[in-house]
Structure 1
Amino acid sequence: MLYPELFKSMEAVRWNMATDIPWDDFDGSKLTDDQAYTVKMNAITEWAALPATEMFLRDNRDDSDFSAFMSVWFFEEQKHSLALMEYLRRFRPELVPTEEELHKVRFEFDPAPALETLMLHFCGEVRLNHWYRRAADWHTEPVIKALYKIIAQDEARHAGAYLRYMKRAILHRGKDFGHHARIAFSKIGVLMASAHRTPQALHPTNLHVNKELYPMDTVQSQLPSPGWLENWLDNQICFDNEWETRVSSRILHNMSLLMDNTFSTVQDLNRYRKELIKGLAPA
Structure 2
Amino acid sequence: MQQPEPTMLYVELFQQLEAVRWNMERDIPWSQFDASKLSDEQAQTIKMNAITEWAALPATEMFLRDNRDDSDFSAFMSIWFFEEQKHSLALIEYLRRFRPDLAPTEAELHEVRFEFDPAPPLETLMLHFCGEIRLNHWYRRAAEWHTEPVIKAIYETLARDEARHGGAYLRYMKRALSRFGDEARVAFAKVGVLMASARRTAQPLHPTNLHVNAALFPRDTVQSRLPDPAWLEHWLDKQIQFDLVWETRVSERILHNLSLLMGRSFASAQELNRFRKDLLQGAAAAA
Same fold (TM over 0.5): yes
Tell me which residue corresponds to 1:97: 104
Match of 1:235 in 2: 238
Give the C-alpha shift of residue 279 in structure 1.
1.4
The CA deviation at 1:24 is 0.2
Question: d(CA) in 2 for partners of 1:279 and 1:213?
Answer: 38
Report how far residue 94 of structure 1 moved: 0.3
Secondary structure of 2:104's counterpart equals coil
**TM value normalised by structure 1:** 0.98
Q: Which runs of 4+ in 1 moved over 6 A?
A: none
Match of 2:249 in 1: 246
**C-alpha distance in 2, partners of 1:42/1:197?**
24
Inter-partner Cα distance in structure 2 for 1:266 and 1:118: 19
Gapped regions of structure 2 (runs ≥ 5):
1-7
Match of 2:157 among 140, 146, 150: 150
Taking the aligned partners of 2:113 and 2:181, their CA distance within structure 1 comes to 33
How far the C-alpha of 1:180 sits from its partner, in A, is 0.2
Distance apart, 1:188 and its partner CA: 0.1
Aligned-residue Cα RMSD (Å) equals 0.4
Partner of residue 130, structure 2: 123
1:265 maps to what in 2?
268
Distance 2:165 2:221 in 1: 22
Sequence identity of aligned pairs in percent? 77
Q: How far apart, in 2, do the equivalents of 1:104 and 1:192 lie?
A: 26
In the alignment, the residues of structure 2 paired with residue 66 and residue 48 of structure 1 have an alpha-carbon distance, to the nearest angstrom, of 19
Name the counterpart of 1:65.
72
Aligned residue number for residue 45 of structure 2: 38
1:197 corresponding residue in structure 2: 200
CA drift of 1:262 comes to 0.3
1:247 is aligned with what amino acid? V
* Deviation of 1:88 (Å): 0.2
Whether 2:173 is the aligned partner of 1:170: answer no
Letter of the aligned partner of 2:41 in structure 1?
D
Alignment pair present for 1:220 and 2:223: yes
Distance of 2:163 and 2:230 partners within structure 1: 26
Deviation per CA, 1:55-111, whole angstroms, max 9, x where unpaired? 000000010000000000000000000000000000000000000000000000000
Structure 1: state its 5+ residue gaps: none
Aligned length: 279
Per the alignment, residue 56 of structure 1 pairs with: 63
Deviation at 1:142, TM superposition (A): 0.2
For 2:281 and 2:18, how far apart are their aligned partners in 1?
Answer: 43
For 1:164 and 1:220, how far apart are their aligned partners in 2? 28
Compute the displacement of 1:13 (Å). Answer: 0.2
Q: Which residue of 1 aligns with 2:183?
A: 180
